[in-house]
């Protein structure tokens, strides 16, 4: 079965013309696809949360890590990438290979407000709360433990968390929950003397 054939997971097709993609985690610091423009954007109705067990990129089945998902409720600041029409199919294929491998996310067209005030629809991937890899609402202690142990083919969860915080800060997007989580993780890290 290919990513394109995941049961119960609709495929978003490029709408014709240029279109937008919303990044709220690693897409902010490693989009990996061609785009004309990247703009700060606000998404209402969803928030960024460490709520997805990672068994591949940032963990293993035996020692899962934890990565971000868009969960319902609240709001989320991130980056909107404008994809040129000529690259639309290739970009959507890339995003499906990256985000939909295990079906933990549902693809959606999301309504964003750009920093210019313009409203656009953007492709985005929202966590599926019925999926086995959905972690739900974990305590900071539980999240910190999973982030400390998580390491997979894409690196460590700590690198993922640090990169996300650093790049959000560089964009003047302060996420207090991620800062608190990073402090919790750093406080639990073993020191070199141990």
Instruction: Supply the pLDDT for residue 10.
Output: 72
* Grouped pLDDT means (10 residues each) for the chain, 194 residues: 54 88 97 97 98 95 96 97 96 93 92 98 97 96 97 96 97 96 93 54
For 182, residues 6+ apart whose C-beta sits below 8 A from its C-beta are 161, 162, 165
Say if pTM beats, i.e. exceeds, 0.75: yes
For 82, residues 6+ apart whose C-beta sits below 8 A from its C-beta are 18, 19, 20, 35, 36, 37, 38, 39
Instruction: Supply the pLDDT for residue 183.
Output: 96
Instruction: Supply the pLDDT for residue 94.
Output: 95
Would you list the domain boundaries of the chain? 14-188
What is the C-alpha to C-alpha distance for residues 9 and 63, in angstroms, rounded to an integer? Answer: 27
Instruction: Supply the pLDDT for residue 13.
Output: 82
Do residues 58 and 39 touch, judged by C-beta distance below 8 A?
Answer: no
Instruction: Supply the pLDDT for residue 6.
Output: 55
What is the C-alpha to C-alpha distance for residues 60 and 51, in angstroms, rounded to an integer? Answer: 16
Instruction: Supply the pLDDT for residue 61.
Output: 93
Enter the tokens of residue 81: 């990438």
Kindly report the CATH number that applies to the domain delimited by 14-188: 3.10.490.10
Instruction: Supply the pLDDT for residue 8.
Output: 62
142 sits in which H/E element: helix 140-149
């Amino acid at each position: 079965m290919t990513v394109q054939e995941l049961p119960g997971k609709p495929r978003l097709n490029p709408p014709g013309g240029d279109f937008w993609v919303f990044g709220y985690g690693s897409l902010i610091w490693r989009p990996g696809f061609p785009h004309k423009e990247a703009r700060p954007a606000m998404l209402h109705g969803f928030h960024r949360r460490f709520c997805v067990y990672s068994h591949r990129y940032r963990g293993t089945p035996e020692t899962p890590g934890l990565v971000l998902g868009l969960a319902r409720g609240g709001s989320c600041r991130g980056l909107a990438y404008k994809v040129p029409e000529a690259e639309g199919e290739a970009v959507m294929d890339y995003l499906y290979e990256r985000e939909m491998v295990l079906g933990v996310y549902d693809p959606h067209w999301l309504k964003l407000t750009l920093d210019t005030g313009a409203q656009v629809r953007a492709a985005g991937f929202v966590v599926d709360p019925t999926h086995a890899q959905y972690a739900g609402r974990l305590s900071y202690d539980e999240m910190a433990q999973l982030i400390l142990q998580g390491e997979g083919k894409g690196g460590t969860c700590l690198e993922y968390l640090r990169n996300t915080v650093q790049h959000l800060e560089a964009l003047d997007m302060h996420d207090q929950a991620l800062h608190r989580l990073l402090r919790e993780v750093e406080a639990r890290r073993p020191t070199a003397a141990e």
